[in-house]
Amino acid sequence: MIPGFTQPKKIFETDIIKTSSGELSITFIGHATLMISYNNTVLHVDPVSQYADYTTMPKADLILVTHEHSDHFDKDAISILRKNNSDLILTNACAPDMGTCTIMKNSDIKTIKDITIEAVPAYNIVHKRTDNTPYHPKGVGNGYVLTIADKRIYIAGDTENIPEMSNLKNIDIAFLPMNLPYTMTPEMVAEAAKRIKPQILYPYHFGNTDTSIITKLLQDESNIEVRIRKMN
């Protein structure tokens, strides 16, 4: 750091989505980290200190964590964001030493602060470690479907285009991960999107993947709008 030089505050992109009960804002923090605001409720998804200075961010009314890997689960970021009345949703693997929290597993459904949260599967079938174990085993991590007013938002977590995606209905907005070897290829994302049929698709967790590929693969899907946002 140059003496006397103040690092400029990072500017994050935000999209505004109109709902039946007011505006919903989605702020794209980085990698798989998001902030969603609706009717004075602030929701942080997979907050990680690498992607934001959380001392400058709005405190959380609700925090969702998809799984225990360090690029999704950061105890320090959670500690900064938590208020006395914050609700913290974790997987079982994340829960130790986290104090009061709610553990959700695949298929659980809860309504918190007028937001319905469905925990859905997130896992690998094809991509595996050298010992042949999946990067994300079935039943360990969660994706989440959030129902906020009349909008359903699918935040997939770290997953491939698994069969259970065919069970997702009426998804307005989908966040699908797109990088190897941990999640999906653009071709896998395109296949998943054609099954889920979101009105808006946000590729995320894409690292150095060429995002123009997914745009081309879905260019003939007139009912799916692909939006590329800064998530690095």
Q: Which amino acid is at 92?
A: N
Q: What angle do CA 190, 119, 229 make, to 5 degrees?
A: 40
Torsion region of 72: left, alpha or beta (phi above 0 gives left; psi -120 to 50 gives alpha): alpha
Check residue 45 and give its pLDDT.
Answer: 98
Check residue 231 and give its pLDDT.
Answer: 86
Check residue 9 and give its pLDDT.
Answer: 67
Number of H helices, E strands in the chain: 3, 14
The alpha carbon dihedral of 15, 34, 156, 218 has a sign of positive
Q: pTM of the full predicted structure? A: 0.95
| Per-domain residue ranges of the chain | 13-226
Query: pLDDT tens string for the chain (232 positions)?
Result: 444 444 456 789 999 999 999 999 999 999 999 999 999 999 999 999 999 999 999 999 999 999 999 999 999 999 999 999 999 999 999 999 999 999 999 999 999 999 999 999 999 999 999 999 999 999 999 999 999 999 999 999 999 999 999 999 999 999 999 999 999 999 999 999 999 999 999 999 999 999 999 999 999 999 999 999 998 6
Tokens 């104090």 belong to which residue?
Answer: 99
Q: Under DSSP, is residue 69 helix (H, G, I), strand (E, B) or coil? A: coil
Determine whether domain 13-226 maps to CATH 3.60.15.10: yes
- Paired residues of 53 in beta bridges: none
Check residue 3 and give its pLDDT.
Answer: 45
Determine if the peptide bond prior to 3 is cis (ω within 30°). Answer: no
d(CA 189, CA 184): 6
Q: Render the burial of 15-36: b for 16+ CB within 10 Å, e for the rest.
A: eebeeeeeebebbbbbbbbbbb
* Residue whose C-alpha is closest to residue 215's, from 182, 178, 180: 178
Give 94's contacts (C-beta < 8 A, 6+ positions apart).
Answer: 65, 67, 68, 73
Instruction: Write out the two tokens for 46.
Output: 């997979």
Instruction: Write out the two tokens for 198.
Output: 């979101």
Check residue 11 and give its pLDDT.
Answer: 87
Instruction: Write out the two tokens for 118.
Output: 């469905």
